[in-house]
Amino acid sequence: MTWPAASNIEKRSLSLQWVDFRRRLQRWLVPAWLGSLRSTKPRSDGWGFDRGRPVDRYYIDSFLEEHSKDIHGRVLEILNCEYTRRFGSRVDQADILDIDPANQQATVVADLAAADSINDDSFDCFILTQTLQLIYDVRSAIVHAHRILRPGGVLLVTIPAVSRLAGEGYTDYWRFTPASCARLFGEIFGPDDVTITAYGNVLSAVAFLEGMACEELSKWELDVIDERYPVLLTIRAVKK
Residues with Cβ within 8 Å of residue 194, at least 6 apart in sequence: 181, 182, 185, 186, 235, 236, 237, 238
Asked if 191 and 24 touch (Cβ cutoff 8 Å), the reply is no
Nearest to 146 by CA among 78, 239, 75: 239
Which amino acid makes up residue 49? F
The pLDDT score that the predictor gives to residue 181 is 98
Max CA pair span of the chain: 95
* CB within 8 Å of 120: residues ≥ 6 apart: 147, 148
Helices and strands (H and E) in the chain: how many:
7, 7
Which positions ≥6 away from 52 have C-beta within 8 Å?
A: 213, 214, 215, 216
> DSSP letter string over 151-210?
EEEEEEEEEESS-PPP-TT--------HHHHHHHHHHHH-GGGEEEEEE--HHHHHHHHH
Q: How far are the Cα atoms of 22, 78, 146, 177 from residue 238, in angstroms, in the given order?
A: 51, 18, 8, 20
CA–CA gap between residue 155 and residue 196 (Å, rounded): 12
Predicted confidence at residue 18, as pLDDT, reads: 79
pLDDT of residue 30: 62
Q: What is the pTM of this model?
A: 0.89
Which of 186, 192, 79 is CA-nearest to residue 128? 79
Radius of gyration of the chain (CA): 24
What integer pLDDT is reported at residue 27 of this predicted model?
66
The pLDDT score that the predictor gives to residue 170 is 74
Which stretches of the chain score pLDDT less than 70?
1-11, 27, 30-34
For 41-238, the fitting CATH number among 3.40.50.300, 3.40.50.150, 1.10.340.70, 3.90.400.10 is 3.40.50.150
What's residue 167's pLDDT? Answer: 73
Domain-wise residue ranges, the chain: 41-238
